[in-house]
Amino acid sequence: MTPRPTLTYLLKQTPSRALLTILPALALSSGCSMGGYSSGDLGVTPGGVQDNRYARELIEDGQIPDETAFRAEGILSEHDLPFTKGDACTELLCPRAAVARHQPVDGGDPQLLVQLGFATSIDAESFERRPLNLALAVDISGSMSGEKLDSVKEALTAMVDQLDGHDRVALAIFDDTAELRLKSTVMDEGGRDELRDAIAALEVRGGTNIEAGLALAFEQVAPLAGDPTVEDRVMLLTDAQPNVGATGLDSFLGMTRFYAESSIGATVFGVGLDLGAELAQEISKVRGGNYFYLADGEAITSIFEDEFEYIVTPLAYDLEAQVTASAGWGFAEAYGAPLDGPSSELEIGASTLFLSQRGGGIGVALRPGEGQELPLSADALAEFDLSFLPRGADAPVVDTLAVPWQGGQTYAASFVTADDLGAFKMAVLIDEYLALRAAADYCDGELTQEAALAIVKAASERLG
């Protein structure tokens, strides 16, 4: 008889490591911070935050991450949440859904968790990314001294090896002001050498004028933008601590949104324990955006060698999902997507869907009416009315997805049963998110130390 796989095996990472590390911090009332592998085929993941590395690094430093340091979508995006059942996908994007019965680790009522995601017909072996029209905006301000700038230079040097003569790259740097170090240049052998030299010459100085650096980078991409066979993109590498020029979030979002209307995307790479995480995260939510934290050499290798071709490949924009719950059901929470006031109808979505080594998804939790127990199965839990605009298309795709509950099976934990492996893993990862949220609530004075410790301990035991 084949032994049941462990949670560690299924997740391929060990989220409990971070939770076990946070226990001493909570027990000692430490200072609160202010501030996976593929199943074989390619997957699809929402844009925005793409990892939970920043929160883990804060925890390993003895801090308790506040609510700006982590996002549910970051935790989910680190892992492959596959849809292993159903017909093969023959389209660019095929909507999929699966359900898990979940008892939340924070003591909430049992719920049915719907994983909404997409499969794709794109094959990893034959996939080739589009040529890039790219500009780099690199923070060289005084706060970037030491390991921060070293990490940025290491990351950019690794990126150069992913470029070829079909790509164009410009390099802008910023401190108190912005300066163009390399105009938009074809990345043939000579161009790559020029870019490597410009990267090697980076040194810290001055203040942090992110507004000027971003503007200069966008100005290098814009004149050549608009070719549908080319990916137009700006990459911002920073600790996100603006102190010169515009420092408010609205100015950065306004600029990013303006250029997003011309299909120029933005990828943010954050560095440092003092990262201005909210700024980086909010920019990445804009159409065409994503965000990664450069924690260490392992993260740099993963992002710039293993995943680079996917993080610059948006597949669709403007995902909207109007969710209608069946009679007798209500919404509890949405994970990995905005939720504005639970009601019988709920609109969730994502500004961008990216190609990925991992299958991602958005989670929507449903609960029966007061006093009602979860059923063993249900023909219909909810209906998703979907709309999304494939890259390069003139009109959105509209689809409807009905979601049944088939009763589920156990995979590696008794507190979750699921209709598919991805939904099972999503439920487990949401427990990690709930534990981090409990610790953050303690920092905000919304939860006692005893209550937060109990939730984190319970999550560690489940995930261990």
CA distances from 183 to 133, 180, 194 (A): 12, 7, 10
Assign 346 a pLDDT band (cuts: 50, 70, 90): low
Q: What class does CATH assign to 132-312?
A: alpha beta
Assign 183 a pLDDT band (cuts: 50, 70, 90): very high
CA distances from 181 to 170, 193, 293, 415 (A): 8, 13, 24, 55
How far, in Å, CA of 169 to CA of 183, rounded?
Answer: 8
Q: What is the pLDDT of residues 283-308, one digit of tens each?
A: 889 999 999 999 888 889 889 989 99
How far, in Å, CA of 23 to CA of 32, rounded?
Answer: 13
Q: What is the pLDDT of residues 392-421, one digit of tens each?
A: 999 999 999 999 998 888 887 778 899 999
Q: What is the pLDDT of residues 72-103, one digit of tens each?
A: 999 999 999 999 888 889 999 999 999 999 99
Q: What is the pLDDT of residues 197-254, one digit of tens each?
A: 999 999 999 888 899 999 999 999 999 999 999 999 999 999 877 667 655 677 888 9
Q: What is the pLDDT of residue 356?
A: 95
How far, in Å, CA of 204 to CA of 264, rounded?
Answer: 28
The domain spans of the chain are: 16-47+79-125+315-463, 132-312
How far, in Å, CA of 170 to CA of 185, rounded?
Answer: 6
* Phi–psi pair at 17, nearest 5 degrees: -60, -45
The per-residue pLDDT of the chain, averaged, comes to 87
Residues 48-55, mean pLDDT to the nearest whole number = 92
The helix/strand/coil state of 34 is coil
Q: pLDDT at residue 22 above 70?
A: no
Which tokens belong to 283?
């920019």
Q: What is the pLDDT of residue 340?
A: 34
How far, in Å, CA of 350 to CA of 318, rounded?
Answer: 6
